[in-house]
Amino acid sequence: MSHVRTLIALGDAFEWMQPLSRFSVLRALVLECFPINNNNHHHHHLKDLGSLHHLRYLEIRGKFEADLLQAIGNLKHLNTLYFSGTSIKELPASIVQLRELESLMTGQGVKFPDGIGNLVSLQQLEVDATGSPQTLAELGNLTRLRLLRVIELSDDSEKSVKNFLQSLSNLHNIHTLYILNGKEKICSLDCMPDQWSSPAHLQYFYTSNLIMTKLPRWFSSLFKLSCLSIEVNKLRQDDVELLEALSVLRFLDLAVGFDGTTEERLVIGIDHPFGSLTDFKFKHFARCWLVFGHGVMLPTTVDMSNDLGILHHLRYLEIRGKFEADLKHLNTLYLSGTSIKELPASIVQLRELECLMTGGGVKFPDGIGSLGSLQQLELDVTGSPQTLAELGNLTRLRLLIVIGLSDDSKNCVKNFLQSLSNLHNIHTLYILNGKEKICSLDCMPDQWSRPTHLQYFHTSNLIMTKLPRWFSSLSKLSCLSIEVNMLRQDDVKLLGALSVLRFLDLAVGFDGTTEERLVIGIDHPFGSLTDFMFKHFARCWLVFGQGVMPKLQRLKLHFRVQKREGGAFDVGLEKLTSLKQVLVEDAEAKFRDAIDKHQIHPTLELSRKDEFGMVDYVEQISMPRL
């Protein structure tokens, strides 16, 4: 062990590792310990941590005794100390002796000792302000800091905020700043002390669950700010103009608090055009309205119509709120949780649009088939049944998400299948419903062409009456997740013959039926399958033949085991030669027996459903014996 430079001890390996005193030239050490049942362990083999004089990197995860770090002051050459989910709640006083420490990331709830300002080599630091308010006053001594994460900063402690701002004015090399809170908190970052200097080199500023009472005026001096993600309680026209003037700002994620207020109309004008901005996200749930003037977010002025239509070079737009748009060169339009219920007729003029993701409940106008550049589309057919007939014109589509397709409208299903036959480039198909619905995807029109390039097909809350026979021609299908109302032996053979199928999630509807015994045999071997999940709540039984699924690594089975003659229970798991992991919901004992017989002993995970009712239910079925 005397020559080992790097040691990573995780899980069980940690419990069996040699004493640290044997690793005399260790440079990097990662320790992880999550004891079962939260039992306390005395880690005697860690008592010599302070003797690792050559250690440069130390990462600690999990539950350790509080005195583990008592001798950490002896690690004079330690460069990086990183905590993740630990039980350590306080750093020892000796940590301030680590004058070569450059990165100290402790996570939430760790208290710092006095004197942290002595660690003048620090370039990256994470500090929880709730347990270490005095540390905020010492931050100003850490003039080499480039990245700083402050956790739980808020107006709950006005002194902490003032100390933080005072120290921030001394951090002339600060490049990235995070302020992160577990819950939403209000914080005033505009209470600067006298003779305050703004962090002029700041390039990235990100907050989470921190709502500023207003936009700090000192932001106007952040000439190098490139990325900004903040939330304010009040947004005014002056604030917009301040942000517009940041000449190198590329990314802006701006939100107004849920109960926040703002002026009725905010104008982004030519005087401050956001000249470098490439990504803009704006969120406000109240009454705010954004208006874009001529030439904004542009290197040169372009004479076009008012509002968003002026953003001639805009390629990506994400909308959360109330907006109108007419953007001739828009490439991507993404709607999320908006109040928009209908797309304007003018959207069909966006001939360069490649991605249109609208979510549920948005109605499409006629003419969507004119968007010949579309490659990704999300469509709710409940409000736009006519759009399904136009899909066939979108021959460049590679990804299609259809919401609300079912037999409630036979015409919709036929239109969808007719259009699907024209989508020769379709790569990925999702059919998603909010509630379970039956749908027949086997009612193909005459002269129907199959989507032979389809590789990924996923459904949610859609139950097919039966497995479509045209699946047999999907020679490139790699991933399939479906639910059928009836499953037959022929269906298993069809799926088993798909030569490149790697992932299969197959379910039979709760009230669905199937043959008593389904055999996966060598004549349909699922030759490429690595992941297989099968669920059926009724009487289905799968049996694996010799040599099938030669590449299968993960298997999940969920079905109800009825009493069988002689208590027979033979699935054939031992014949799946590559299996590494099995998750079984029901029939525990016999599966354990099959796993024990398996030549490479895969991992078995068991999940009991409604375990509280198993005593009553055992009379209705014959539980397998050990």
3-state secondary structure of 167: helix
Instruction: Return mean pLDDT, the chain.
Output: 79
Please give the helix or strand (H or E) that residue 310 lies within, else none: none
CA distance 200 to 550: 60
- Looking at residue 285, its pLDDT comes to 59
Name the least confident of 43-47, 362-366, 388-392, 404-408: 43-47
The amino acid present at 281, given as its one-letter code, is K
In this structure, the number of other CB atoms found within 10 A of the CB of residue 411 comes to 11
Q: Residue 438, Cβ neighbours under 10 Å: how many? A: 13
- Determine whether 265 is exposed, middle or buried from the number of CB atoms within 10 Å of its CB (0-12, 13-18, 19+): exposed
The mean pLDDT of 404-413, rounded to a whole number, is 82
Pick the range with the lowest mean pLDDT from 16-20, 73-77, 509-513, 566-570: 566-570
What pLDDT sits at residue 545? Answer: 81
CA 3 to chain centre: 40
Per-residue pLDDT at 312: 41
The reported pTM is: 0.55
H/E segment holding residue 387: helix 385-390
pLDDT in tens, 593-614: 555 665 555 655 555 444 433 3
Percent of the chain clearing pLDDT 90 (strictly above): 33
pLDDT bin (cut points 50, 70, 90) of residue 197 is confident
- Which of 320, 318, 300 minimizes the C-alpha distance to 310? 300
Contacts of 565 (CB under 8 A, 6+ apart): none
Cα distances (Å, whole numbers) of residue 419 to 253, 358, 391, 459, 497 = 38, 20, 5, 18, 26
196 pLDDT higher than 50: yes
Question: What pLDDT does residue 45 have?
Answer: 60
Average pLDDT over residues 266-294: 71
Interatomic CA distance for residues 99 and 122, integer angstroms: 8
What are the pLDDT digits (tens) for 313-372?
444 444 443 444 445 677 888 877 666 888 888 889 888 899 999 888 899 999 999 999
DSSP state letters, 311-379: -TT--EEEEBSS-----TT--EEEE-S-S--B--GGGGG-TT--EEE--TT-BPPTTGGG-TT--EEEE
Question: Which range, 32-46, 207-221, 296-310, has the best average confidence (pLDDT)?
Answer: 207-221
Long-range contacts of 159-162 (CB under 8 A, 24+ apart): 159/133, 160/129, 160/133, 160/136, 161/187, 161/188, 161/189, 161/191, 162/191, 162/193
Query: Phi, psi (5° rounding) for residue 242?
Result: -65, -45
The domain 341-477 is classified under which CATH number: 3.40.50.1000, 3.40.30.10, 3.80.10.10, 3.40.50.300?
Answer: 3.80.10.10
Least confident of 10-19, 192-201, 450-459, 528-537: 10-19
Query: Is pLDDT at 488 greater than 80 in this prediction?
Result: yes
What gap in Å lies between CA 584 and CA 556, rounded to an integer? 6
How far, in Å, CA of 580 to CA of 591, rounded? Answer: 14
Q: Which of 250-259, 420-429, 519-528, 584-593 ranks highest by mean pLDDT?
A: 420-429
Alpha carbon 488 to its chain centroid, in Å, reads 37
The pLDDT tens digits of the residues spanning 415-463 come to 899 899 999 999 999 999 988 888 888 877 666 788 989 999 999 999 9
pLDDT at 289 (0 to 100): 63
- Domain extents in the chain: 226-322, 341-477, 484-626
Least confident of 103-107, 156-160, 568-572: 568-572
Q: How confident is the model at residue 43 (pLDDT cuts 50, 70, 90)?
A: low
Q: How far apart are CA 620 and CA 608, in angstroms?
A: 17
Q: Which residue has the higher pLDDT, 67 or 22?
A: 22
In this structure, how many other beta carbons lie within 10 angstroms of the beta carbon of residue 243? 22
Spatial neighbors of 440 by CB under 8 A, at least 6 apart, are 407, 413, 464, 465, 466
Residue 503's DSSP bridge partners are: 479, 531
| pLDDT of the residue at 524 | 75
Question: What is the share, in percent, of the chain residues with pLDDT greater than 70?
Answer: 73
Mean pLDDT on 284-302 = 53
pLDDT of residue 97: 94
Q: Which two tokens stand for residue 549?
A: 């699924």
- Predicted confidence at residue 582, as pLDDT, reads 56
pLDDT given for residue 577 in this prediction:
64
- 74 and 95 in contact (C-beta within 8 Å)? no
**C-beta of residue 180 within 8 angstroms of C-beta of residue 151:** yes
Angstrom CA distances, 256 to 142, 323, 425, stand at: 33, 16, 41
pLDDT confidence of 190, banded at 50, 70, 90?
Answer: confident
Rounded distance, CA 267 to CA 237, Å? 7
Separation CA 158–CA 12 (nearest Å): 46
pLDDT confidence of residue 102 = 96
pLDDT confidence bin for 620, thresholds 50/70/90: very low
At 93-128, the pLDDT tens digits run: 999 999 999 999 988 888 999 999 999 999 999 999
